[in-house]
Chain A
């Protein structure tokens, strides 16, 4: 059996030696460079583009703008309709593309462009009380905006204990290590693109529509991707600009975004204000849960983060209401960032649960266990499996939770005040339709083809393990080729659905090949669309529990995290090595969001002004001390053939709240606004 083995990444050696080529490294004969020129105003129209000086510069091949760029067709995502009209919907919107034979020539020519604007007044100031806040038709991706069960207001009015608190989280940027890049090439009306993407097939579909092509006329390849965390989930403007540029100059064009350019062009997590109201009996059992989330979107595209979704499935409560509001501002378009919805939603819900435990004088682990539901609270659906209690118990045992003194601000260690915190986690266990094929080669080996993406997760390795078992051969007999849209439709590496979706198609194809006899030269194909749709309606989720210890110096504002431990019920573990990496990576990102990450919107300009890694802090190695992820048994035969629940996102869910809860335990101060920066810790009032 290969599944379950701790196998190192197949492409690991290529990556550390530099042999692996990313989209911006792909050598395409005769390619030119495209430099993206962004608007310097937050709202208005381009009134003129004077490109005379730029076009006269050496090496410059073209300057594309709304007045001369090739016309695009349709798009599901209006952020892709670039250089089509003079409208400027936010600061940083692409207003021109300069194409030249070198990157330096393109960039220097761009500096000589004279772009005049008709400036209109803009509004980039997000607040929950914004008068244009509205109720959207749905939330990301297609969930209901509101759910109501029971009489929430009535239950709150008569509850023995009530927690009513407002939590805020700032805009956050995904900041994958590899900035977005693409090289596009047209040949006889066919478009080939190497793109840094989490879903080559999704990019192919977008380009097919945008350029009004036949499906077989577009090929997208994303062999290696240096992270994404959601902001490479679908096509982004850089790939469209590369294809437009290539069409205009009749040679391949490469577009590589800079770090600052990512901030306006590729998505981010919206700032969010959440009000959570909990009503409970004195023993901590909930009678009411009310979760209202307000977020922003752009005027280009409505995107509403599904922030309160987590409250629909987490705790039993007779009365349960979840609601979302959104306001469209003159700002860049927010999109998916690791655990959209659950990451910020769990910060609010799991902080509020901690506040309830304190108010009731009940241990926060026990309070969560006391509120375990029989079925999914909002939908009433049965769970396919639910091992949250096992995560809480196992995590508590390993962390040494028992005997914890719940009183705050008691543990001093020199200048440090110490405390511990807990929070629960959940994330949907999705499987999406995908296709795959497997070929029995003449030399006895097997080649699997699936349009999966490995964005650093180890997906290529995991799929090789799965295929080897399905073919009943060692891993060394199997080559898995991924991330080429010619391999057929497949789900994106997003929503923690990748391995759960692709492995299903791979197993189906492999089983079919064996059933056919697996003669050399034969290929079996599978598409899981019908099988996925035929699954019974069940609530399928992964679970986890985080335990965190912090040390706080209230006089300097420093917060350090000596220990993080997560216990997870995430179905069958295909590869414990890469699974652990995913989970501790998510936990680290949760710490980073708790303490550091914040995109600062300067509303005067409509710009995220700290748009680089010097000023947008992500956790460094020194911020991480002891960090461990452990698994609890989580058998579930209602998922997919391998029994996989995704684990790309659950590590981040709840980690932030556990840390904030620990800061309360250390200091007696409740931080409801993220991040818990030194100035906020310093400015707090302490009882002692």
Chain B
């Protein structure tokens, strides 16, 4: 393991400045992913700037009736917060479906969004991986890809984003506040934070390197109070999803007035099902309509040799969830 320096940042500006000044620096939140990757030799930072003590640790109600989550709020605290449980239950459910109690106590909101794929070739520095070592090739396309992407993949990478929390946030129209290396502050829709998988899968985000996530804003939404999250995994707990859905639905007189659907474990980012949503809005609130809408979304799926099962799996959990939400 490379020897590294450790600095505890007292303010956002200081943290961003420290990381901007050192190409080998990384922000350290809960460390539940970064420290693992350091032990594996995937990440070899020379400087860790610990941001977990920054004063971004509150969940607060916003004047417009939404909720703001500081980037350093621990996952357990988000899931347990009364405002989250009441107004955005899908988010609380998604977090509690992820990892273990111990990990959720450590993991931060910002770190959860930025965690790396668990593709077995990414986490093994002895194997080719375009995400870890650009140009070395993708070992997964012909190899172990049973739990990798069916949507939005490229010939260079088929990784999935492992977060449950991010899937719920995507469905709930979350916006992410960031501070960029030069100090500029921006607010980005969550869906725009992640770069589509192209020919540079190592470049995962649309913001410049050294950007710090400072918070997540959840807009007020009458829909969200009845949102839900459903995760399927190989064992009953403590496993990454093989397919998941976060959704919210508003129906009246047998018609879909509004709907949100985001899918997990199918792409390199939480996958907002815009196609399905567009088809559903204004249409009948029936199982047949749900089915044809998700089929339209999944029509773009490009499964690999061993992950085609995700198509019927996702179809089933989406249709069932919309039926439950309508019921």
Q: A residues near B, CB below 8 A?
A: 40, 104, 107-108, 111, 260, 415, 555-558, 560, 595-596, 600, 602, 604-605, 607, 609-612, 614-615, 617, 619-623, 677-679, 682-683
Contact A555 B316 (CB under 8 A): yes
Residue-wise, chain B 134-159 has the 8 Å CB interface mask toward A (1 for contact) of 00000100111010000000000000
- Determine how close the nearest CB of chain B comes to the CB of A350; give it in whole angstroms: 23
- Determine how close the nearest CB of chain B comes to the CB of A295; give it in whole angstroms: 22
Q: Find chain A residues with CB under 8 A from B313 CB.
A: 555-557, 678, 682
Q: Find chain B residues with CB under 8 A from A596 CB.
A: 234-235
Tell me if B82 is interfacial: C-beta within 8 Å of chain A: no
- Determine how close the nearest CB of chain A comes to the CB of B298; give it in whole angstroms: 14
Tell me if B288 is interfacial: C-beta within 8 Å of chain A: no
Number of A-B contacts (CB under 8 A): 87
A526 to B320, CA, bound (A): 68
Contact of A620 among B2, B143, B237 (CB under 8 A): B237
Contact A104 B3 (CB under 8 A): yes
Known interface pairs A111-B41, A600-B144, A678-B242; A595-B232 also in contact (CB < 8 Å): no
Contact B237 A614 (CB under 8 A): no
Q: Find chain A residues with CB under 8 A from B240 CB.
A: 614
Contact of A679 among B2, B118, B142, B309 (CB under 8 A): B309
Contact B1 A622 (CB under 8 A): no
Q: Find chain A residues with CB under 8 A from B120 CB.
A: 600, 609-611, 615
- Determine how close the nearest CB of chain B comes to the CB of A196; give it in whole angstroms: 20
Contact A623 B126 (CB under 8 A): no
- Determine how close the nearest CB of chain B comes to the CB of A149; give it in whole angstroms: 42
Q: Find chain A residues with CB under 8 A from B232 CB.
A: 556-558, 678
Contact B306 A622 (CB under 8 A): no
Q: Which of B2, B142, B236, B316 has the most CB of A within 10 A?
A: B236
Contact B236 A682 (CB under 8 A): no
Contact A557 B309 (CB under 8 A): yes
- Determine how close the nearest CB of chain A comes to the CB of B20; give it in whole angstroms: 26
Task: Identify the closest chain B residue to A103 (Cβ).
Answer: B1
Contact A678 B234 (CB under 8 A): yes
Tell me if B124 is interfacial: C-beta within 8 Å of chain A: yes
23 contacts between A and B (CB under 8 A): A40-B126, A108-B1, A111-B41, A260-B40, A415-B320, A555-B312, A556-B313, A556-B317, A557-B232, A557-B313, A595-B235, A602-B144, A609-B120, A609-B143, A609-B144, A610-B120, A620-B235, A620-B237, A623-B235, A623-B236, A679-B306, A682-B312, A683-B309
Q: Find chain B residues with CB under 8 A from A415 CB.
A: 320
Known interface pairs A108-B1, A556-B316, A682-B313; A610-B235 also in contact (CB < 8 Å): no
Residue-wise, chain B 118-139 has the 8 Å CB interface mask toward A (1 for contact) of 1011011011000000000001
Contact B142 A622 (CB under 8 A): no
Known interface pairs A557-B313, A678-B313, A682-B312; A617-B139 also in contact (CB < 8 Å): no
A478 to B1, CA, bound (A): 47
A602 to B119, CA, bound (A): 13
- Determine how close the nearest CB of chain A comes to the CB of B243; give it in whole angstroms: 8
Task: Identify the closest chain A residue to B319 (Cβ).
Answer: A555
Known interface pairs A604-B142, A609-B120, A678-B232; A617-B239 also in contact (CB < 8 Å): yes
Q: Find chain B residues with CB under 8 A from A612 CB.
A: 123
A557 to B306, CA, bound (A): 15
Contact A621 B143 (CB under 8 A): no
Tell me if B6 is interfacial: C-beta within 8 Å of chain A: no
A615 to B236, CA, bound (A): 14
- Determine how close the nearest CB of chain B comes to the CB of A465; give it in whole angstroms: 36
Residue-wise, chain B 40-75 has the 8 Å CB interface mask toward A (1 for contact) of 110000000000000000000000000000000000
Contact A108 B3 (CB under 8 A): yes
Task: Identify the closest chain A residue to B36 (Cβ).
Answer: A614
A596 to B239, CA, bound (A): 11
Q: Find chain B residues with CB under 8 A from A555 CB.
A: 312-313, 316
For chain B, give the interface size range.
Answer: 35 or more
Task: Identify the closest chain B residue to A683 (Cβ).
Answer: B309
A415 to B317, CA, bound (A): 11
Contact A610 B144 (CB under 8 A): yes
Residue-wise, chain B 149-187 has the 8 Å CB interface mask toward A (1 for contact) of 000000000000000000000000000000000000000
Task: Identify the closest chain A residue to B236 (Cβ).
Answer: A622
A555 to B309, CA, bound (A): 10
Q: Find chain B residues with CB under 8 A from A614 CB.
A: 118, 240
A683 to B146, CA, bound (A): 13
Contact B1 A609 (CB under 8 A): no
- Determine how close the nearest CB of chain A comes to the CB of B40; give it in whole angstroms: 8
Q: Find chain A residues with CB under 8 A from B307 CB.
A: 679
Contact of A104 among B1, B139, B237 (CB under 8 A): B1
A355 to B300, CA, bound (A): 41
Q: Find chain A residues with CB under 8 A from B124 CB.
A: 260, 609, 611
Known interface pairs A556-B316, A609-B121; A620-B126 also in contact (CB < 8 Å): no
A197 to B306, CA, bound (A): 39
| Among all A-B residue pairs, the 3 with the closest Cβ atoms | A622-B237, A622-B236, A679-B309
A558 to B320, CA, bound (A): 15
Q: Find chain B residues with CB under 8 A from A557 CB.
A: 232, 309, 313
A107 to B2, CA, bound (A): 9
A76 to B41, CA, bound (A): 35
Q: Find chain A residues with CB under 8 A from B118 CB.
A: 614-615
- Determine how close the nearest CB of chain B comes to the CB of A286; give it in whole angstroms: 36
Residue-wise, chain B 301-318 has the 8 Å CB interface mask toward A (1 for contact) of 000001101001100110
Q: Find chain B residues with CB under 8 A from A678 CB.
A: 232, 234, 242, 309, 313
Q: Find chain B residues with CB under 8 A from A679 CB.
A: 146, 242, 306-307, 309
Q: Find chain B residues with CB under 8 A from A558 CB.
A: 232
Task: Identify the closest chain A residue to B242 (Cβ).
Answer: A678
Q: Find chain A residues with CB under 8 A from B316 CB.
A: 555-556
Task: Identify the closest chain B residue to A558 (Cβ).
Answer: B232
Interface residues of B in 278-327 (CB under 8 A from A): 306-307, 309, 312-313, 316-317, 320
A560 to B123, CA, bound (A): 30
A683 to B139, CA, bound (A): 25
Q: Which of A558, A619, A677 has the most CB of B within 10 A?
A: A558
Q: Find chain A residues with CB under 8 A from B239 CB.
A: 617, 620
Q: Find chain B residues with CB under 8 A from A611 CB.
A: 120, 124
A677 to B232, CA, bound (A): 12
Contact A108 B2 (CB under 8 A): yes
Q: Find chain B residues with CB under 8 A from A600 CB.
A: 120, 144
Q: Find chain B residues with CB under 8 A from A605 CB.
A: 127, 139
Known interface pairs A40-B126, A555-B316; A602-B306 also in contact (CB < 8 Å): no
Q: Find chain B residues with CB under 8 A from A107 CB.
A: 1
A107 to B146, CA, bound (A): 32
Q: Find chain A residues with CB under 8 A from B146 CB.
A: 679
Interface residues of B in 84-133 (CB under 8 A from A): 118, 120-121, 123-124, 126-127
Contact B143 A617 (CB under 8 A): no
Contact A677 B2 (CB under 8 A): no
A265 to B235, CA, bound (A): 27
- Determine how close the nearest CB of chain A comes to the CB of B164; give it in whole angstroms: 15
A622 to B320, CA, bound (A): 23
- Determine how close the nearest CB of chain A comes to the CB of B143; give it in whole angstroms: 5
A392 to B232, CA, bound (A): 35
Q: Find chain A residues with CB under 8 A from B123 CB.
A: 612
